[in-house]
Structure 1
Amino acid sequence: MCDYVNHINEDNDFIRYRDILIIYLMGVEGFRNVEVHRLCDEDINWEYRSINVRGKGHGGMVYPCDATFTVLERYLAARPRPTKDGTLTPTIISDHRHNFGRVSRNGIRDIMNRILRGCDLKHHGYSCHILRHSCGTNLYSETKDIRLVQEQLRHSDPKMTARYAHVHERMTNRHTEKLAPKID
């Protein structure tokens, strides 16, 4: 798997840590693009080290790993003062024209497409959502707990989550191996 973080060639700490944070939120914590886009400072509970996710109708509380919180802390330390979005403070902000407002969903896609191209993983049909799928597949591979994957990805339907177990099964058991002729 590509080391996405090493494909961020950016000297500006704000932009570097923003892009790394997006990777962590999507690839490690399983956030959707819209959830990264909607994230506000007010959603972060530092005492319990949790984040209230504003999802597509069924958000919820997630408890990111320490590495994600470390990147979040570094990003917030380097981030310029954001432009408020009503009463809320957008966490992930744009550097576009230096207005420092909420980054758009297209902006997140552009950031991730640039990183995927740097890893030589940007192909037709691949988008930043590939990181969410990687999170589900890798989490199932590590835990074999489909319920945990369902909770982490905030799926309302367990059938949606079951595909990660199926992918793991197919990757682990290469059934066609039995059909391959032996080579001396």
Structure 2
Amino acid sequence: MEEFRRFVAYDYGRLPELTKRHLSWYEDNRERDTAIVSLILGSGLRVNEVATLTLTDIDWDSKRVLVDRKGEKMQSVPFSIRSKLDLEEYMRIRNSRYQPLASETALFLTKGGKPMTKNAMQKMVNKYSHAYGKPLSVHKLRHTFGTQLYKTKKDLRLVQDILGHSDPKTTTLYTHIGNDEQNNAVDEMDSFE
């Protein structure tokens, strides 16, 4: 999924079919959109969790974000170094480009300096995924994070905790094993003869 993040960050703006208006919109929102995609891919946050983030929810030193999980429970969730870099790039331009009121604490903003909604984030990801040529949704990005985390750590409880699942059965969706992994595992059995 790093390829999709890179597409949002750099390649979308190079598409020859973009109109001047679409290119201008992309250039105005590139850092924000990259930060949103990167944060979901680097933390597994739900879209509503990202949409409700405030400036004070980010702990830059520990690379953690405080989110309001389902069931009205607050949880500190880690995010990746790549996400931190993309968030920092967005924060450098946030106030000058989006010009929020001094009282606006929402992390992600629209052109008018207002909080970006969950629906706007979903539409944004859908727009990029359509141009990317793969049907991706915000939930698919979250699922990708969960799957990659499980493949890396093989720790279902860790995945459950980071994704904020209350039911372990939900987390087992991220443990699916592909055909290649199955074939390799069976082939390795030949070495036990």
Is there any run of 5+ residues in structure 2 with no aligned partner, and where? 14-23, 188-193
Deviation by residue 1:44-65 (Cα, 9 ceiling, x = unmatched): 1234332101222234101212
In the comparison of the two structures, how many residue pairs are matched?
168
Q: Which structure features the higher share of helix residues?
A: 2
Say which SS state the counterpart of residue 168 (structure 1) adopts.
coil
CA distance in 2, matches of 1:132, 1:141: 14
Say which SS state the counterpart of residue 69 (structure 2) adopts.
coil
Aligned 8 A contact 1:94 1:107 in 2: no
Aligned 8 A contact 1:43 1:53 in 2: yes
Q: CA RMSD in A?
A: 2.5
Q: Displacement of 1:78 after TM fit? A: 1.2
TM-score normalised by L of structure 1:
0.80
Aligned 8 A contact 1:82 1:90 in 2: no
Say which SS state the counterpart of residue 139 (structure 1) adopts.
helix
Match of 2:107 among 91, 94, 115: 91
CA distance in 1, matches of 2:182, 2:101: 51
Equivalent in the alignment of 1:105: 118
Aligned 8 A contact 2:51 2:108 in 1: yes
Counting aligned pairs with the same residue, the percent is 29
Deviation by residue 1:113-161 (Cα, 9 ceiling, x = unmatched): 0111122112xxx522100111111111111111111111111111111
Distance 1:64 1:18, change over 3 A: same
TM-score normalised by L of structure 2:
0.76
Tell me which amino acid in the other structure corresponds to 1:78. I
CA distance in 2, matches of 1:157, 1:29: 19
Say which SS state the counterpart of residue 54 (structure 1) adopts.
strand
Q: Displacement of 1:105 after TM fit? A: 1.0
Equivalent in the alignment of 1:34: 48
4+ runs deviating over 4 angstroms: 10-14
